[in-house]
Amino acid sequence: MKTIPRIENIYRPEATRVEDYNEVERKFNAEELTMQASRCMDCGIPFCHGLGCPLGNVIPEMNEAVRTLNWKRAYEILSKTSNMPEFTSRVCPAICENACTKNIENIPVMIRQLEKSVIENAFENGYVKQIIPENKSGKNVAVVGAGPSGLYMAFELYKKGHNVTVYEKRKYAGGLLRYGIPDFKLEKNIIERRIDILKASGIDFQFNTEIGKDIAAEYLNKKYDATVLAIGTPEPRDLQIKGRKLKNIYFALDFLSGQNMFIGKEINKLPINVKGKDVVIIGGGDTGSDCLGTSIRQKAANITQIEIMPEPPKERSASTPWPDWPYELKTSSSHKEGGTRLWAKVVKEFHGTNGAVTSIDLVDAAWDFSPDGKPLSFKEVEGTLTNIKADYVFIAMGFLGVDNNSFIKDLYLEADKRGRVEGNPSQGIFTCGDMKTGQSLVVRAMANAKETAKDVDDYLKGV
């Protein structure tokens, strides 16, 4: 039997894609999709479904429907477990593909791209319809925050028959899908397409409305039968070292949201423009990688991404055998486009002239590893001080969660040490998404909303 290889070439050519902000992934034709779907072995124990996908997508059946180009059937299967696959199929790190049995040989089925083909086909063919509630309960729910978890919650509760109003402090919906993740990963018309359906179904959206400022949280709690908070993890982790107050040192989201708002014509001037400048990004994760891709498109002169952790192995480390999430080097589409990655570096001090940053001091970190290769702890190495030029610095070191001084205190809620907030279900107050679990992924925020919606529904049945 002829073996069909996994397609490796999934992006548009680098030379042209860095000239625009459109999605970097190329389109796949029907032949490529059927061939890729036919790589699925329809495993007796489908790890992709059981262990991989947090939403529980029934992947082998979806793959089979794609293989036979039965798009309607594929959409019916996918939409049973996932309300908004157009987002996950674009930005998910594909936990399902990691769990895929074929990933034992590093050649998983291209589940994410197959999922994207199913939902895009469904939109093109008019299969995606307004939500028809199971039956109307007459109960009213307020959802605070229109990020992926708030939107998923609104969808689920509306489907279960409740009236839903979503309060969002920004002008548009999407949360970090819109104001964090760059257009080159997710074009924003994809969000508006879904919001149009949610609105047409009957979900009410109140934009430019900040709870705790424009409307008191206690008011929501009194007015609605239940209130669900889905405000994400707004507090970024800072780097309080000498020189931090210098100009042109920003949190990553200030840079990314400015670029996204400019593309979306919400503002008519880029708030931060790094054209021709030396950029240093502190943090080697996804947010840092998004700053890299954005800096490349803005035509920065030099871009350096610094990470305190050591460079992971090129292939899965023995410390994370399949089907664990692998400890291995991740190379994003932005990393393929340019920039320099520095590993095992500690940022010591910012230097500047005339009040603006000009360079950064770094020292090497020497790491100790566990016998199976996991980095455990580090020491700074004497005599390794270096200084690199920096006209702009973006801090991409993750998020601390929710601040206890925010409006949550008006509802007698408290964040734990990691900034996560549990609701008070007996009082009809619920939380979901990153706010509840800590900073995570779009798919996990949605899966958490899906689970929490069941609790909200149970609560509403009793009031």
Q: Are 67 and 139 in contact (CB under 8 A)?
A: no
Q: Which listed residue (57, 149, 248, 431) binds ligand FAD by CB under 6 A?
A: 149
Helix (H, G, I), strand (E, B) or coil at 305: strand
Binder of ligand FAD out of 231, 357, 360, 447 (CB under 6 A): 231
The span from the CA of 404 to the CA of 418, in Å, is: 11
Of 278-307, which residues contact ligand FAD (CB under 6 A)?
A: 286-287, 290
Rounded to whole angstroms, the Cα distance separating 97 from 103 reads: 7
Quick check: 230 binds ligand FAD (CB under 6 A)? yes
Q: By CB under 6 A, name the binding residues for ligand SF4.
A: 40-43, 46-48, 59-60, 63, 100-102, 109, 111
176 binds ligand FAD (CB under 6 A): yes
* Least distance to ligand FAD, CB of residue 20, Å: 19
CB of 63 to ligand SF4, least distance (A): 6
Gyration radius of the chain over CA positions: 23
Q: Is 212 in the site for ligand FAD (CB under 6 A)?
A: yes
DSSP state of 121: H
| Distance of closest approach, residue 271 Cβ to ligand SF4, in angstroms | 43
Residues pairing with 302 in the sheet: 278
Q: Which stretch binds ligand FAD (CB under 6 A): 24-32, 292-300, 372-380, 432-440?
A: 432-440
Give the nearest distance from C-beta 3 to ligand SF4 in angstroms. Answer: 13
# of chain residues touching ligand FAD (CB under 6 A): 39
CA 183 to chain centre: 13
312 binds ligand FAD (CB under 6 A): no
Q: Is 170 in the site for ligand FAD (CB under 6 A)?
A: yes
Work out what residue 145 binds among ligand FAD, ligand SF4, none; the CB cut-off runs from 5 to 8 Å by kind: ligand FAD
Residue whose tokens read 């993740």:
181
Q: How near is the Cβ of 338 to ligand FAD at its closest, in Å?
A: 19
Q: Which does 60 bind (CB under 5 to 8 A by kind): ligand SF4, ligand FAD, none?
A: ligand SF4
Q: How far is the CB of 62 from ligand SF4 (least distance, A)?
A: 9
Residue 330 Cβ vs ligand SF4, minimum distance, rounded to whole Å: 20
Token pair 């609790």 in the structure block, residue: 455
Q: Which one of 100-108, 207-215, 237-245, 302-310 is the stretch in contact with ligand FAD (CB under 6 A)?
A: 207-215
For position 256 contacting ligand FAD by CB under 6 A, the verdict is yes
DSSP 223-289: HSSEEEE-----EEPP---BTTTSBTEEEHHHHHHHHHHHHTTSSSS-SS--TT-EEEEE--SHHHH
Give Dmax over CA atoms of the chain in angstroms.
70
Q: How far is the CB of 225 from ligand FAD (least distance, A)?
A: 19
Does 169 bind ligand FAD (CB under 6 A)? Our answer is yes
CA dihedral 189, 33, 327, 324 (to 10 degrees): 110
Closest CA to 334 of 28, 21, 8, 7: 21
Residue 91 beta carbon to ligand FAD: minimum distance, rounded to whole angstroms? 4
Name all contacts of 105-110 with Cβ < 8 Å and 24+ positions apart: 106/315, 106/316, 107/5, 107/6, 108/6, 109/6, 109/36, 109/37, 109/39, 109/40, 109/48, 109/59, 109/63, 110/6, 110/7, 110/10, 110/36, 110/39
Helix axes 59-67, 71-81, angle to 10 degrees: 160
| Strand-pair partners of 250 | 394
Residue 339: name its binding partner from ligand SF4, ligand FAD, none (Cβ under 5 to 8 Å by kind).
none
36: tokens are 């890729």
Q: Which two tokens stand for residue 399?
A: 């998020």
Does 168 participate in binding ligand FAD (rule CB under 6 A)? yes
What is the footprint of ligand FAD within residues 77-136 (CB under 6 A)? 91-92
DSSP symbol at 415: B
Residues of span 393-422 touching ligand FAD by CB under 6 A? 407
Cβ proximity to ligand FAD, 251 vs 327, nearer residue? 251
H or E segment to which residue 2 belongs? none
Using the contact rule CB under 6 A, the part of the chain among 47-55, 78-86, 155-163, 229-237 near ligand FAD is 229-237
Find the shortest distance in angstroms from Cβ 66 to ligand SF4. Answer: 11
Positions in 31-50 near ligand FAD (CB under 6 A): none
Q: Which does 48 bind (CB under 5 to 8 A by kind): ligand FAD, ligand SF4, none?
A: ligand SF4
What SS3 class is residue 436?
helix
Contact 232, 145 (CB under 8 A): yes
Residues that bind ligand FAD (CB under 6 A): 91-92, 144-150, 167-170, 175-176, 180-181, 185, 210-212, 230-232, 234, 253, 256, 286-287, 290, 407, 433-435, 440-443, 445
